C-alpha cells in the first residue's frame, strides 16, 4: 500500500487507463488557465477521475509567516478537483465549479504542495470530488487541507 492507503497496482492500472486524448484535452485546457500559470502550478498526474497538481514554494505564493497562502492552497485544490471531474466528461463539454469547501488542517509548508482531486460521484450534470492538499518536505507528505467540491458539466453553447 502507498501513503494514500491504496494498492500501488490499483493506481498503476488507473494510470494505464488514461487515454492520450484525455491527457491532451486536460493539458490543453490547463494551459489556458492564467491563474495556474501565474501561481506556477503544474499537473503531475492524470488518471480517469483523479488529477494531481504540484505548486512549488516561492515567496509569491506564501503569506506573512512563510506558509503557503490559503488562497494558493485553495486555488490548486479547486483546479485539481475540476480536472478530476473533467476527465470523466464527454469530449464536447466543459466544467465549472458550483461550490467547494476546504478545511485547512495544518500550516502548508514544504518544498511544494501537492493537490489531489478525486471524483467521488459522477452524474449526468453534477459531479462531487474530494480535495486533498499535502505539504511535501524531504519526500514526506503531510495532509494540510481537505475538502469537497461540486462541479457542473456544461455544453460550450450554453455558456
In a domain, 132, yes or no: yes
Grade residue 18 by pLDDT with cuts at 50, 70 and 90: confident
CATH of the domain at 79: 3.10.129.10
- Residues 48, 3, 56: CA angle, nearest 5 degrees: 75
Q: 60-69 long-range contacts, Cβ below 8 Å, gap at least 24?
A: 65/107, 66/109, 67/107, 67/108, 67/109, 68/108, 68/109, 68/113, 68/135, 68/144
Q: According to the model, what pLDDT value does residue 2 have?
A: 44
- Lay out the sheet containing 112-122: strands in order across: 42-47, 50-56, 112-122, 126-137, 140-154, 94-104
In a domain, 1, yes or no: no
**Domain span at residue 65?**
8-158
Q: According to the model, what pLDDT value does residue 9 have?
A: 40
Helix (H, G, I), strand (E, B) or coil at 144: strand
In a domain, 81, yes or no: yes
Q: Which three cell numbers stand for residue 12?
A: 498503476
Cβ atoms of residues 119 and 85 within 8 Å: yes
Q: According to the model, what pLDDT value does residue 121 have?
A: 98
In a domain, 45, yes or no: yes
In a domain, 2, yes or no: no
Q: According to the model, what pLDDT value does residue 158 have?
A: 72
For residue range 70-101, list pLDDT tens digits in order.
999 999 999 999 999 999 999 899 999 999 99
Whole-model pTM: value is: 0.88
What is d(CA 36, CA 54) in angstroms, rounded to the nearest whole number? 10
pLDDT > 70? residue 6: no
What is d(CA 108, CA 90) in angstroms, rounded to the nearest whole number? 35
Percentage of residues of the chain with pLDDT beyond 90: 85
CA distances from 46 to 3, 63, 110, 121 (A): 18, 29, 23, 17
In the chain, how many domains are there?
1
Q: According to the model, what pLDDT value does residue 151 have?
A: 98
Cβ atoms of residues 145 and 77 within 8 Å: yes
Q: According to the model, what pLDDT value does residue 159 have?
A: 67
- Report the mean per-residue pLDDT for the chain: 91
Percentage of residues of the chain with pLDDT beyond 70: 89
In a domain, 66, yes or no: yes
In a domain, 49, yes or no: yes
For residue range 97-116, list pLDDT tens digits in order.
999 999 999 999 999 999 99
Amino acid at each position: 500500500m502507498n501513503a494514500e492507503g491504496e494498492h500501488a497496482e490499483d493506481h498503476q492500472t488507473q494510470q494505464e487507463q488514461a487515454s492520450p486524448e484525455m491527457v491532451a484535452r486536460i493539458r490543453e485546457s490547463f494551459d489556458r488557465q492564467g491563474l495556474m500559470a501565474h501561481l506556477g502550478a503544474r499537473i503531475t498526474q492524470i488518471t480517469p477521475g483523479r488529477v494531481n497538481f504540484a505548486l512549488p514554494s516561492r515567496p509569491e505564493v506564501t503569506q506573512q509567516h512563510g506558509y503557503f497562502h490559503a488562497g494558493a492552497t485553495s486555488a490548486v485544490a479547486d483546479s485539481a478537483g475540476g480536472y478530476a471531474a473533467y476527465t470523466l466528461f464527454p469530449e464536447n463539454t466543459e466544467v465549472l465549479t458550483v461550490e467547494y469547501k476546504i478545511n485547512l488542517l495544518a500550516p502548508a509548508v514544504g518544498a511544494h504542495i501537492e493537490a489531489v482531486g478525486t471524483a467521488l460521484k459522477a452524474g449526468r450534470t453534477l459531479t462531487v470530488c474530494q480535495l486533498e492538499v499535502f505539504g511535501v518536505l524531504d519526500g514526506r507528505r503531510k495532509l494540510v487541507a481537505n475538502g469537497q467540491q461540486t462541479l457542473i458539466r456544461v455544453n460550450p453553447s450554453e455558456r
